[in-house]
Structure 1
Amino acid sequence: MGGRVRALVLSTLAFTTCFAVWGLISPLAPTFRELYGLSGAQAGLLVALPVLLGSLLRLPLGILADRYGGRLVFTLLLLGLLLPVGLAGMTSSYATLLAVSLMLGVAGASFAVGAPFVAAWWPPDRQGLALGVYGMGNFGTAISSFLAPKLADSLGWRTTFWVHLPVLVVMAALFWLLGRDAPGRVVRVPSLRERLSVFRRRPISWVLALFYFVTFGGFVAISVYLPILLVSEYGLSRPDAGTRTAGFVAVATLARPIGGYLADRVGGAPILNATFLVVAAFAVVLAFLPGMPILTVAFLGIAGMLGLGNGAVFKLVSSYFPAETGTVTGLVGAAGGLGGFFPPLVMGVVHDVAGSYAIAFMLLSEFALLCLVVNILVIQHRASLLTPEEGEGSS
């Protein structure tokens, strides 16, 4: 048990560190918007770029984690982040900031490294809870949302990036010195072609990718764009907007292990049904940009349900793909990352054209309802697709 707990704690801390770095651009976006005179679309692109690279790299990093083990890959990832974080504080134009923002996306791919590392340590009946706890590393974005505006006000936005450099070095050293890959980890590694064939042989992987596109993508999209919305539409100060965004992230993060635990007990499908239904309803409320009390309830309600959905999705991933957790985690995680990339762009463009965010929130509602229908028709009524005991080629 000691090895399991140590692996879970180290992975969660490393994941939190990566997500704190990944989330640095968003809370500072109002500062950059004022500094460089950015439009809504330009600001949306700025906060969306880290999400793009983070999503695209999740699949290859998941495969690397399966091949070389999480200890080595996570350590190298943490050290590799020193370059973009150092450069971020040296940018002097919108163009250079965009380039560094894209590079920071590497941190967003960290989930695909730690998920197979953690799952290998825990038995199937406890993987949902373990992965949910690991997923609490999402809290790193809450730390950034809360601290970055305050650090920028007191130390300057450049130093806000640089203070993360020693943190990355310390975390990399701890993970390398204390981390251990699970005993009995499979040494024989299938080829890339064999790995990727799982998406053809097991189409349920694409269904789970769709679900994570909405649950994690919605979480990321709202958390990265919320500071801009609160400052521009509700006139909040940047630190206040950052604090409220941190609250959104915290609720979603705390709900994630609960979602994994409930999925261990009652299955992932019922949790996802509730998630998609409630998110669809609250998204309609947000489309009308209500007063602050109702706005707060709606955003926190969405945060809680998205967190539950995140935990449920990865319980299903680890249950139905135990031998290919890293690969499928990469695919599903990439879908979630893309789900966080497009909405900020849409929100920026929609606001520039229509002067309102209503259309963007209605699209979130419609995507959630689509997932609800797919969950009922595929997972509940075609349970054979989700039976772990069935042959991998039978679906």
Structure 2
Amino acid sequence: MAGRWIETWEPEDETFWREKGERIARRNLWFSVLSEHIGFSIWTLWSVMVLFMGPEYGIDPAGKFFLISTATLVGALVRVPYTFAVARFGGRNWTIFSAMSLLVPTLAAFWVMEPGTSYGTFVAVAALTGIGGGNFASSMTNINAFFPLRKKGWALGLNAGGGNIGVPVVQLVGLLVIGTLGASHPRVVLGVYLPLIIVAALCAALYMDNLRPVKNDTGAALEAVRDPHTWIMSVLYIGTFGSFIGYSFAFGLVLQTQFGRTPLQAASLTFIGPLLGSLIRPVGGRLADRYGGARITLATFVAMAAATGVVIHASGTASLVVFLTGFTALFVLTGLGNGSTYKMIPGIFHTKALARGLDGEAAAAHGRRLSGAAMGLIGAVGALGGLAINLAFRQSFQASGTGTAAFWSFLAFYGVCVAITWAVYLRRPAPVPARAQLGYAEV
């Protein structure tokens, strides 16, 4: 695939960054956000489509939870190959292709979205929307290569936050359609996104660049897989991003099933939490740049555990106002945690490079090499947390008709995340040579 290629890229060189690099990196960042934004909207499309599926569709709540779980699963799995596609084809080229590929699930949903379609067909089409989840992995890997370490928290937080906003935006589009046309016109939502997909692909073609120095490194991938920090961060990312995407998919269904909200009532509430969680993600990255990712992540998990306790109380007492308050707080906190955990990844591998005696550009290059390889795996495992949340809700509603049991399991997991963050990254930072200026508490 032909495209514009930049042959030399040295973001850690302050002169290069000031004179040339920052302008190019920022341009690629904005159009990466656009493509990833549309990808998130398509990935979470079925969190909206299920609100249109009334009794005439013949699908019970458990069946709807399985539909959104299918989209979550595929979105998690495709993140690994999408990560390596950037180096193989170029960030610009892959963004064009991945954006255009979103036409397939959108057109398929447009074709089948009506009563009488078999459940198996709905499951297959929901699976297709999962490819939108892969756009996150390729976008984050690409933007990670453009920015210097000191700017990664802000850049990755902004990139991911702008992408995450695709979740509340598609839910807002669904709300507008239900509010103006009723719950019998799901194809209008799909029609809105078809031209937007084409616009995202065209903007990538016109304004983005490929980086020649970014290459797939099998050795780095294997080293990242063997590194325990890759798996530790995967667990923490399950707690932050897994919670965000899982709750985003399930929120409307929980309101309909447990609190008896109508499609319009549910749609009018579901977008608020994902919107706030998306907008605050860059703040999490910025706070991590300033105070250290591990400290912000620890505080976030403690607060998430407290908010989950509020939700459990509200679920048991059937208090919708308290439930919405606690659930919205959870969304905000997952956004902060998403920003801080993604800041930690390049920082951890840069710290390890310093501990090995590397410095300057050599340490930065080693950190980029391993963090780029690790991000795809961490992103994929983290997204699987969304699958676990949706399946937990499905089981909880099947067994008791409420989501209370699921929330208890989430509370226990956040407690595990608190313990891991404190024990590994804050209790006793691993010793590093005097020349290393970064400790694990600052990653």
TM range (shorter): over 0.9
| Matched AA of 1:170 | V
Matched, 1:145 2:174: no
Matched, 1:371 2:417: yes
Q: Structure 1: which 5+ residue stretches go unaligned?
A: 391-395
Task: State the alpha-carbon separation in 1 of the partners of residues 208 and 299 from structure 2.
Answer: 37
Q: Structure 2: which 5+ residue stretches go unaligned?
A: 1-21, 350-366, 438-443
State the 1:158 CA deviation. 2.5
| Matched AA of 2:200 | M
Deviations 1:79-109 (A, max 9, x none): 1111111011112222111101001000011
Matched, 1:384 2:430: yes
Q: Given the alignment, which residue of 84, 92, 102 partners 1:81?
A: 102
Deviations 1:60-80 (A, max 9, x none): 111111333211111111111
Matched, 1:285 2:310: yes
Q: Given the alignment, which residue of 357, 373, 388 partners 1:342?
A: 388
- How many residue pairs get matched? 386
Matched, 1:158 2:187: yes
Look up the SS of the partner of 1:280 in the other structure.
helix
Task: State the alpha-carbon separation in 2 of the partners of residues 368 and 204 from structure 1.
Answer: 18
Q: Does the 8 Å contact 2:258/2:401 carry over to 1?
A: no
**Counterpart residue number, 2:33:** 12
**Counterpart residue number, 1:275:** 300
Q: Does the 8 Å contact 1:59/1:327 carry over to 2?
A: no
State the 1:10 CA deviation. 0.5
TM-score by length of 2: 0.83
State the 1:283 CA deviation. 1.1
Matched, 1:257 2:278: no
After TM superposition, the structure 1 = structure 2 runs for residues 170-249 of structure 1, keeping only pairs within 5 Å, are 170-182=199-211, 185-191=212-218, 194-200=220-226, 202-249=227-274
Deviations 1:271-330 (A, max 9, x none): 111111111111122123152221222112111111111001111122224113432111
TM-score by length of 1: 0.92
Counterparts in 2 of 1:187 and 1:112: CA distance versus 1, 3 Å: closer
Deviations 1:168-225 (A, max 9, x none): 111101101111135xx5255323x65233210x210111100111111111111111
RMSD of the alignment, in Å?
Answer: 2.1
Counterparts in 2 of 1:224 and 1:111: CA distance versus 1, 3 Å: same
Q: Given the alignment, which residue of 55, 60, 76 partners 2:76?
A: 55
Q: Does the 8 Å contact 2:154/2:289 carry over to 1?
A: yes
Task: State the alpha-carbon separation in 1 of the partners of residues 274 and 394 from structure 2.
Answer: 21
After TM superposition, the structure 1 = structure 2 runs for residues 35-114 of structure 1, keeping only pairs within 5 Å, are 35-91=56-112, 92-114=117-139
State which drifts further: 238-247 or 294-303.
Answer: 238-247
State which drifts further: 365-374 or 287-296.
Answer: 287-296
Task: State the alpha-carbon separation in 1 of the partners of residues 292 and 277 from structure 2.
Answer: 20
Counterparts in 2 of 1:7 and 1:373: CA distance versus 1, 3 Å: same
State the 1:240 CA deviation. 3.0
Task: State the alpha-carbon separation in 1 of the partners of residues 368 and 55 from structure 2.
Answer: 48
State the 1:40 CA deviation. 2.5
Look up the SS of the partner of 2:271 in the other structure.
helix
Task: State the alpha-carbon separation in 1 of the partners of residues 215 and 239 from structure 2.
Answer: 34
Look up the SS of the partner of 1:272 in the other structure.
helix
Task: State the alpha-carbon separation in 2 of the partners of residues 117 and 355 from structure 1.
Answer: 43
State the 1:236 CA deviation. 2.4
Larger RCO (CA under 8 A, 6+ residues apart) = 1
Task: State the alpha-carbon separation in 2 of the partners of residues 381 and 66 from structure 1.
Answer: 37
Look up the SS of the partner of 2:146 in the other structure.
coil
Counterparts in 2 of 1:108 and 1:187: CA distance versus 1, 3 Å: closer
Task: State the alpha-carbon separation in 2 of the partners of residues 386 and 176 from structure 1.
Answer: 44
Q: Does the 8 Å contact 1:63/1:326 carry over to 2?
A: no
Q: Does the 8 Å contact 1:81/1:104 carry over to 2?
A: yes
Task: State the alpha-carbon separation in 2 of the partners of residues 66 and 381 from structure 1.
Answer: 37
